[in-house]
Amino acid sequence: MNKRYKSAVLLAGLLSLSGIAVAEESLLQAVVTPFRQKELVPVDNKQYQDECGSCHFAYQPGLLPSKSWEKLLNDKALSEHFGENAELDADTLKVIRDYALANAADKSYHKRSRKIAIAMENIEAPLRITEVRYIKRKHHEIPDKMIKGNKDVKSLSYCDACHTQAAKGVFDEDTVKIPNYPDWED
């Protein structure tokens, strides 16, 4: 067999193998993509939205690991929920707790939730979303005057004050508009 023919056969073989690899990668991407979204799963539980959203932004469960939700969603914790009585009847609490635990950061395939879960491994479970290392790191360059000193924001806990698509679970930087600071970019 001449050298040119061998080279052509080798090249054809490599191309066909790379085609298989590309096809397998495309198939894998098609299978994984629906579960590996960038942002957070938006709140889709009416009781959770109604009960939690009646007092504050209804945080997506993917913003905290399940060990945090376990600490937050019990009778004792809800009776003293950040200075407020947020007690729920047993049936409602079960629905909300089950929903939060099933959609917690460590149970999610969404990229941002996974990052939060990894940041929380091997440390004490935070009770506040603003105590999550990942979230603190994402906001560390924003001056206090733009958050705490801003009458329209007040705290990082008001996610939807700046994240215009927070209710949809979208927290990308290009959807951020800090009230009273329209030209700020980090």
Contacts of 92 (CB under 8 A, 6+ apart): 47, 51
Sign of CA dihedral 9, 12, 18, 22: negative
pLDDT, tens only, 6-55: 655 655 555 555 454 433 433 343 344 455 577 899 999 999 999 999 99
Give pLDDT tens digits for 92-126: 999 999 999 999 999 998 999 999 999 888 899 89
Token representation of residue 98:
């089950």
Per-chain mean pLDDT for the chain: 85
Amino acid at 26: S
Q: Which residues, 6+ apart, have CB-to-CB distance to 178 below 8 Å?
A: 142, 146, 150, 153, 162, 184
Rounded to two decimals, the pTM is 0.77
State percent of the chain over pLDDT 70: 79
